[in-house]
Amino acid sequence: MTIVAAIAGTIALAWLTLFQLMLAAGAPLGHLAWGGEHRILPPRFRRASAAVAGLTAIGTVAIAQVGGLVGQILPASLFPGLLWAFAALFGLSLIGNLASRSPPERAHGVPLTLIIASCSLWLALTGTP
């Protein structure tokens, strides 16, 4: 089950990283994020998306490494804190996506944040190398 969580979490976080980079670059995908009110995000949301992309890139590497999908890139001592932080962060993000007034944002964000939160939680609970 750990390998399934690692693969699913890695894919979900990699997609979220790419998605946030596209938003930061001005792709017309704003209806899927940040409240769904903008086709192209305004500068402050684009900067936020760039920051989120950096965070999710670290998470992608961490979950892939914990699951044994890649060799050592990050120090293993970071994993317990990172996994719990990602479980909490994406658990809160899940609540925000569920509460969104934007149906496209809910359709994209709810499954994505549910996968990331649950995979992070599973890996945090089952231990890390």
Tokens representing 97 are 């996506």
Tell me the residue range of the domain where 54 lies: 2-126
Q: Report, as an integer, the average pLDDT of 91-110.
A: 95
- Condensed to tens digits (0 to 9), the pLDDT of residues 21-54 reads 999 999 999 999 999 999 999 999 999 999 999 9
Global pTM value: 0.92
Give dist(CA 89, CA 96) in Å, integer.
11
DSSP-derived secondary structure letter, 78: G
Q: What average pLDDT does the chain have?
A: 94
Which residue is associated with the tokens 């390998």?
3
101-124 pLDDT, tens digit per residue, is: 999 999 999 999 999 999 999 999
Contacts of 24 (CB under 8 A, 6+ apart): 41, 46, 47, 49, 50, 53
Tally the domains of the chain: 1
At 99, the pLDDT band (50, 70, 90 cuts) reads very high
pLDDT above 70 for 128:
no
pLDDT at 31: 94
